[in-house]
């Protein structure tokens, strides 16, 4: 698992640019896998099925060794998907897919014009989406008596655990998300609190 924090978009976004009567419409979304990225591309292509082109790029995974892919969707090679990917790279983002749709306006833009139009549209939509730094976390479920609640919360604060959900019955069930960098400290807390029942699902 990669422990490093990474930058991605803050929220899905759309933006539009007109160049020589051609409309360029950019859409972006945060994704966690190539499957999610391709599903988003398929969605945009369906929504804009009458468009001349739906070009895209995505960058997924650890920032020091990401999966990168781009597609020109019928535009001259290297004039669409590559500048879209370049916009993502310049912002040093990962776990993001960008689709730029083009409705042809009747005038050819040439290689340089296409590169600039697709790159500018991608940059525009990424700026519209904003950025956020995410820290990889793993989830855990804790079960314990209510009398231990204050102590548990105090110790969880020390490992910067985020409380995702709390259920109160005859026992307290706490779902938490712990930064991966604090995993060893969290395991120490578990060892120091033997009354805890702990389940750690598969890490993501």
Predicted confidence (pLDDT) per residue in 45-57, tens digit: 999 999 999 999 9
Instruction: Give the domain ranges of the chain.
Output: 6-134, 137-199
Q: How far, in Å, CA of 161 to CA of 171, rounded?
A: 20
Alpha helices in the chain (DSSP H): 34-47, 81-90, 110-129, 149-158, 183-192
**Alpha-carbon torsion (12, 86, 59, 50), positive or negative:** positive
The reported pLDDT for the residue numbered 3 is: 62
The reported pLDDT for the residue numbered 41 is: 98
Which residues 6+ apart lie within 8 Å of 49 measured at CB?
A: none
The reported pLDDT for the residue numbered 202 is: 60
DSSP percent split of the chain into helix, strand, coil, nearest 5: 35, 35, 30
28 contacts 96 by C-beta, under 8 angstroms: yes
Topology of domain 137-199 in CATH is: Alpha-Beta Plaits (3.30.70)
Neighbours of 15 (CB within 10 A): 20
SS3 11: coil
In the chain, which residues have pLDDT < 70? 1-3, 202-204
- Among residues 96, 30, 21, the alpha carbon closest in space to that of 52 is found at 21
Local structure of residue 196 (DSSP, 8 states): -
Superfamily per CATH, domain 6-134: Impact, N-terminal domain (3.30.230.30)
The reported pLDDT for the residue numbered 2 is: 56
Q: How far, in Å, CA of 201 to CA of 92, rounded?
A: 30
The reported pLDDT for the residue numbered 136 is: 87
Give percent above pLDDT 70 in the chain: 97
């Amino acid at each position: 698992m990669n422990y490093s924090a990474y930058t991605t978009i803050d929220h899905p976004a759309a933006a539009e640019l007109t160049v020589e009567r051609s409309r360029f419409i950019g859409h972006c979304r945060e994704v966690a896998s190539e499957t999610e990225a391709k599903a988003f591309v398929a969605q945009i292509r369906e929504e804009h099925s009458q468009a001349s082109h739906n070009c895209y790029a995505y960058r997924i995974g650890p920032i020091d060794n990401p999966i990168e892919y781009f597609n020109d969707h019928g535009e001259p090679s290297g004039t669409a998907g590559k500048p879209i990917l370049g916009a993502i790279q310049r912002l040093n983002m990962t776990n993001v897919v960008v689709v730029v749709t083009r409705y042809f306006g009747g005038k050819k833009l040439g290689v340089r014009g296409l590169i600039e139009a697709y790159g500018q549209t991608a940059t525009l939509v990424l700026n519209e989406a904003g950025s956020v730094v995410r820290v990889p976390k793993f989830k855990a479920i804790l079960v314990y008596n209510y009398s231990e609640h204050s102590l548990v919360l105090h110790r969880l604060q020390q490992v910067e655990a985020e409380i995702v959900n709390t259920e109160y019955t005859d026992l307290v069930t706490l779902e938490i998300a712990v930064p991966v960098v604090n995993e060893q400290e969290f395991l120490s807390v578990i060892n120091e609190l033997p009354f805890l029942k702990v389940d750690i699902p598969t890490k993501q």
